[in-house]
């Protein structure tokens, strides 16, 4: 009988505890091996953040990883979509009560909700993308039944920054007057977001120290496309020729501003090339790979609690190579730089003062 995965709409429960809005640095560099008893059928529950599956980036990729696991690993998956922060804890609790083999929280906004549920259900296994369980004080805590799936998005940001910087420096930007100015948007002031932006400006300045980098923060909802579009339009009016979105679903409005003004756009998380002919590349955070690998480990009888790092070395960060409007010489240069980051020759910082050179 053919197996189906059901996507269930989550009911909002305002009285439940919301997600923590604090993200600390990873606590340890390596996960702790923790074996689980094999089951006849592995069941996985995926809880999205309030961006939902149609964000065309972060949550969507998590679902892609789950779907791949269903097809290749023969597991049974289910998804609960969150519409507000109040949905996080009820959704996680529902899957825990169903005794899913693994429950995955997509996004650092669920750090506190996950902490509460994982403590209440210590025999169930959980994973969280881009975060770690956080207590009521906002302190991150490693739990023996939670795998923290961390990335190094600064690597991806750096590489697309190199592309943007070289395009401006070599006067290969979009048609029209060259302003030697690039821009980006940060959806909120969280490390998982700003690491992209820090890498981006560092990458730009590594090849063109004279370039001007405009960076603006959005309202933190990751959903307000109109606001993100307005930010993009303002940056374009200030001379920005290339816009890099780090704003989840809201970033689609930011990229629309670039397209309408015939400026270049850079996508985030997923390869967003299909959204517009003006998108030159995307900074990748392969959430699908992290989700798939985590499920595969469980299927194999193992579970790695604590911090699990995903980066260029395990092909989980990088940039979309189906670049457009990018000369062959620049493609060759960024490919070489990617190898140098992977080898450790170039070390990219995740933190910085945005908009200011060190």
Is 247 contained in some domain?
Answer: yes
Contact by Cβ (8 Å): 330, 170: yes
Does residue 99 share a domain with residue 73? Answer: yes
Is 174 contained in some domain?
Answer: yes
Nearest to 19 by CA among 159, 198, 100, 140: 140
Report, in angstroms and rounded to the nearest whole number, the Rg of the chain calculated over CA atoms.
20
Does residue 144 share a domain with residue 65? Answer: yes
Is 352 contained in some domain?
Answer: no
Does residue 335 share a domain with residue 207? Answer: yes
Contact by Cβ (8 Å): 203, 162: yes
Q: What is the CATH number of the domain that holds 247?
A: 3.40.50.2300
Residue 176's pLDDT is what? Answer: 87
Contact by Cβ (8 Å): 295, 69: yes
Does residue 188 share a domain with residue 91? Answer: no
Residue 43's pLDDT is what? Answer: 98
* Cα→Cα distances 63→7, 69, 286, 292, 313, Å: 10, 10, 12, 10, 23
Paired with 242 in beta bridges are 182, 264
Contact by Cβ (8 Å): 134, 112: yes
Cα(190)–Cα(202) distance, integer angstroms: 18
Does residue 164 share a domain with residue 142? Answer: no
Chain centroid to Cα 358, Å, comes to 25
Averaged over successive runs of 10 residues, the pLDDT of the chain (358 residues) comes to 39 34 36 50 95 86 97 97 96 98 96 98 97 96 97 98 97 90 96 96 97 96 96 98 95 97 96 95 96 96 94 95 94 98 97 88
Does residue 241 share a domain with residue 224? Answer: yes
Tokens at residue 56, please? 């065309």
How many structural domains does the chain have?
2
Does residue 100 share a domain with residue 171? Answer: no
Does residue 297 share a domain with residue 275? Answer: no
Residue 32's pLDDT is what? Answer: 45
Nearest to 92 by CA among 137, 126, 66, 140: 126
Cα(247)–Cα(221) distance, integer angstroms: 9
Contact by Cβ (8 Å): 169, 211: yes
Is 353 contained in some domain?
Answer: no
Tokens at residue 38, please? 């094999």
Does residue 184 share a domain with residue 131? Answer: no
Query: What is the crossing angle of helices 153-169 and 328-343, to 10°?
Result: 150
**What global pTM score does this model have?**
0.83
Is 321 contained in some domain?
Answer: no
Q: What range does the domain containing 111 cover? A: 7-151+287-314
Does residue 186 share a domain with residue 129? Answer: no
Give the H or E element holding residue 351. none
- If you ran DSSP here, which 8-state letter would residue 6 be given? -
Q: How does strand 242-246 pair with strand 212-217?
A: unpaired
Q: CB count, 10 Å around CB of 357? A: 10
Contact by Cβ (8 Å): 118, 252: no
Cα(354)–Cα(204) distance, integer angstroms: 13
Does residue 228 share a domain with residue 94? Answer: no
Residue 258's pLDDT is what? Answer: 98
Is 118 contained in some domain?
Answer: yes
- Residue range 233-244, pLDDT digits in tens: 999 999 999 999
Residue 31's pLDDT is what? Answer: 45
Cα(265)–Cα(284) distance, integer angstroms: 14
For the chain, give the percent of residues with pLDDT over 90. Answer: 81
Is 348 contained in some domain?
Answer: no
Cα(120)–Cα(48) distance, integer angstroms: 20
Is 76 contained in some domain?
Answer: yes
Does residue 180 share a domain with residue 46? Answer: no
């Amino acid at each position: 009988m053919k197996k189906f995965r059901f996507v269930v709409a989550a009911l909002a429960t305002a009285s439940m505890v919301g997600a923590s809005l604090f993200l600390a640095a990873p606590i340890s560099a390596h996960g702790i091996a923790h074996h689980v008893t094999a089951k006849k059928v592995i069941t996985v529950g995926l809880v999205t953040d309030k961006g939902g599956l149609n964000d065309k980036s972060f949550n969507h990729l998590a679902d892609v990883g789950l779907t791949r696991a269903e097809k290749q690993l023969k597991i049974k998956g289910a998804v609960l979509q969150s519409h507000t922060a109040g949905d996080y804890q009820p959704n996680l609790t529902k899957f825990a009560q169903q005794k899913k083999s693994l429950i995955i929280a997509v996004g650092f906004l669920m750090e506190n909700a996950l902490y509460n549920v994982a403590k209440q259900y210590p025999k169930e296994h959980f994973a969280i993308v881009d975060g770690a369980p956080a207590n009521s004080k906002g302190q991150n805590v490693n739990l023996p039944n939670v795998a923290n799936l961390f990335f190094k998005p600064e690597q991806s940001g750096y590489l697309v920054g190199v592309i943007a910087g070289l395009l401006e420096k070599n006067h290969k930007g979009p048609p029209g007057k060259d302003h030697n100015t690039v821009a980006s948007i940060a959806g909120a002031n969280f490390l998982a977001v700003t690491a992209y932006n820090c890498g981006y400006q560092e990458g730009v300045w590594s090849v063109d120290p004279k370039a001007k980098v405009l960076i603006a923060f959005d309202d933190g909802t990751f959903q307000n496309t109109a606001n993100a579009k307005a930010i993009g339009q303002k940056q374009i009016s200030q001379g920005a020729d290339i816009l890099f979105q780090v704003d989840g679903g809201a970033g689609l409005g930011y990229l629309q501003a670039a397209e309408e003004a015939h400026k270049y756009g850079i996508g985030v998380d997923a390869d967003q090339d299909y959204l517009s002919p003006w998108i030159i590349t995307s900074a990748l955070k392969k959430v699908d790979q992290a989700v798939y690998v985590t499920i595969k480990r469980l299927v194999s009888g193992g579970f790695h609690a604590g911090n699990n790092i995903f980066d260029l070395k395990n092909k989980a960060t990088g940039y979309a190579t189906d670049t457009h409007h990018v000369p062959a010489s620049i493609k060759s240069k960024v490919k070489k730089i990617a190898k140098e980051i992977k080898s450790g020759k170039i070390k990219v910082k995740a933190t910085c003062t945005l908009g200011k050179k060190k």
